[in-house]
Chain A
Amino acid sequence: MTTKPKFAMYWAASCGGCEIAVLNIHEKILDVDANFEVVFWPVAMDAKYKDVEAMEDGSILLTLFNGGIRNDENEHIAKLLRQKSKILVAFGSCANEGCIPGLANFTPIQEIVDTAFSTLTTENPDNIRPQTTYAMPEGEIHIPTLYPILKTLDQVVDVDYYMPGCPPESHQIAAVIDLVIQVLQGKAELPPKGAVIGVGLSTVCDDCKRTRNIKKIKQFGRIQLQHSDPELCLLEQGIPCNGPATRQGCGALCPAAGAQCIGCYGPAEGVIDYGARLVAAFASVVDSNNPDEIDQIMDGLVDPAGQFYRFNLAGSLLKGSLTAIRSISK
């Protein structure tokens, strides 16, 4: 019998990119196999929830949990894995702050269901909606119940470490796995509980190679509609780049490739609300003191809430739009 420590990975409301990022650590995946026994990883192996339920509490050493909490199945597994794991890592942007699935928090749940089941392109003449329980001759069957808003992992269970990114960069994953292996061998110590791991200590701007001067913006524009200078800071060119509020860790890949930072590594150190920090940053560099002109310049930001909360809505102070949150009690 093996005595290797146990490893689990789970996906809740996510796209599967985090799993790809883990597999993308190349030969390091052999170290994972050499040092861990993979007991539960739905995307990579066959395992049943009842197998996890049968495990002893705290018997899994390391669980990487990616995805937000969208329905009662996600919540059940989050609580189950919390109970069975010694170290639970909120892995990837969805588990940390909601990410793209969290954008659903802009819209009341009824509208989301209507969009899915009653649009012109959906053939649903009887306007059927999914029933979460259904009586069959063999007995009652269930499908997961959708929650009115998406929650982050730490809004549901206690989380030991946070590893942001959409997805976390493979070299960061490899470094974290290396660290855990060193801890197992007694060569290193675990970081303090609640730490954000696999990240840099500054913002994306610190990794960005573009030239930065004093920022004065007379006009915001969308990157696809203009020719941008490949050497100059994108924000200085009026392209809304989220670098100033975003945690360092990716190596500023997007600005290096000519695209603006969209903020997938989440809020930087000291930032409580990601969107609020960007409001402060963008408003500060607008070069006008005239209310009408300010309004005109800000018209260039076509979707400010989406720009500022693309990855962070569920984890933000406001958690969702007022329309979505007010629709819950009804």
Chain B
Amino acid sequence: MTNGNFEPVIIGFTCNWCSYRAADMAGTARMKYAPNVRLIRLMCSGRLDPTFIFKAFAGGADAVLISGCHPGDCHYIDQNYKALRRFHLMKRVLTQMGMEPGRLKLLWASAAEGALFASEINKFVEEVRQLGPLNWQVPGEAVSIPTQKTQVEVTA
């Protein structure tokens, strides 16, 4: 299969204080980079619930980028370390389930690193393009996200 025409869909999670500002800086400096990443801003990478990532893959994303402040620089002291640990464990689970580890990337970027952010995204998009589409969906079935159900305590 040639992946030349394949445009990967990548969901990128950024934190409000560093990595989103890095993306912002890349924008204001008019740096050009691949448009494949859809950025979602969270207050902190520690807010990143693994559910978001599994939902992204189940919903058709080909890869997910997690980004936050550099270690030691977190606006909320140490929550980016929490993101780091979750990233490691998620990667283990997803790899065990047959996914190429290269589809989940962690990137530390400070508010001053617009150029780094842009170049890392370009690199990531090319890597994912080589991997091809993910297609983690049951063929012929619409993507359905399980809904939350009300609990009712029925006491004996």
- Indicate whether A and B interact: yes
Which A residues fall within an 8 A CB radius of B? 106, 149, 155, 162, 171-172, 174-176, 178-179, 191-192, 194-201, 247, 269-270, 272-273, 275-277, 279-280, 282-284, 286, 288-289, 291, 294-295, 298, 301, 303-305, 308, 315-326, 328-329
Cα A322 to Cα B98 in complex, Å, equals: 5
**For residue A179, which residues in chain B have a CB less than 8 angstroms away from its CB?**
154
Q: Is the CB of B148 within 8 A of A328?
A: no
Known A279-B50, A279-B93; contact A286-B85, beta-carbon cutoff 8 A: yes
**For residue A276, which residues in chain B have a CB less than 8 angstroms away from its CB?**
49-51, 53-54
Closest 4 CB pairs of A and B: A322-B98, A323-B98, A276-B50, A283-B85
Q: Is the CB of A176 within 8 A of B58?
A: no
Cα A120 to Cα B83 in complex, Å, equals: 45
Cα A298 to Cα B89 in complex, Å, equals: 7
Cα A320 to Cα B90 in complex, Å, equals: 15
**For residue A172, which residues in chain B have a CB less than 8 angstroms away from its CB?**
154, 156
* Nearest neighbor of A149 in chain B, beta-carbon distance: B138
Interface residues of B in 71-104 (CB under 8 A from A): 71, 78, 81-82, 84-86, 88-90, 92-93, 96-99
Q: Is the CB of B93 within 8 A of A195?
A: no
B54 touches which one: A155, A318, A325 (CB < 8 A)? A318
Q: Is the CB of B151 within 8 A of A199?
A: yes
A-B contact pairs, 26 of them (CB 8 A): A179-B154, A191-B150, A194-B150, A195-B149, A198-B154, A270-B148, A272-B51, A272-B146, A273-B50, A273-B54, A279-B50, A280-B50, A284-B82, A284-B86, A295-B88, A298-B89, A298-B92, A301-B89, A305-B96, A316-B146, A317-B51, A317-B54, A317-B146, A319-B138, A322-B99, A323-B98
Interface size on B, residues (CB 8 A): 42
Q: Is the CB of A175 within 8 A of B156?
A: yes
* Nearest neighbor of B55 in chain A, beta-carbon distance: A317
Cα A317 to Cα B136 in complex, Å, equals: 10
**For residue B97, which residues in chain A have a CB less than 8 angstroms away from its CB?**
106, 305, 318, 321-323
Known A198-B154, A199-B151, A322-B99; contact A275-B54, beta-carbon cutoff 8 A: yes
Known A279-B86, A280-B50, A289-B71; contact A196-B98, beta-carbon cutoff 8 A: no
B58 touches which one: A286, A301, A303, A319 (CB < 8 A)? A319
Q: Is the CB of A289 within 8 A of B81?
A: yes
Q: Is the CB of B151 within 8 A of A247?
A: yes
Cα A191 to Cα B151 in complex, Å, equals: 9
Q: Is the CB of B149 within 8 A of A196?
A: yes
Minimum Cβ distance to chain A for residue B93 (Å): 5
* Nearest neighbor of A305 in chain B, beta-carbon distance: B96
**For residue B78, which residues in chain A have a CB less than 8 angstroms away from its CB?**
289
Known A175-B156, A318-B54, A322-B134; contact A280-B98, beta-carbon cutoff 8 A: no
Cα A324 to Cα B88 in complex, Å, equals: 23
Known A196-B149, A323-B97, A328-B138; contact A280-B57, beta-carbon cutoff 8 A: no
Chain A CB within 8 A of B137 CB = yes
Cα A282 to Cα B87 in complex, Å, equals: 12
What 14 additional pairs, Cβ within 8 angstroms, besides A280-B86, A322-B136? A175-B156, A247-B151, A275-B54, A279-B86, A283-B86, A283-B89, A289-B71, A305-B97, A315-B146, A317-B146, A318-B57, A319-B58, A322-B98, A325-B135
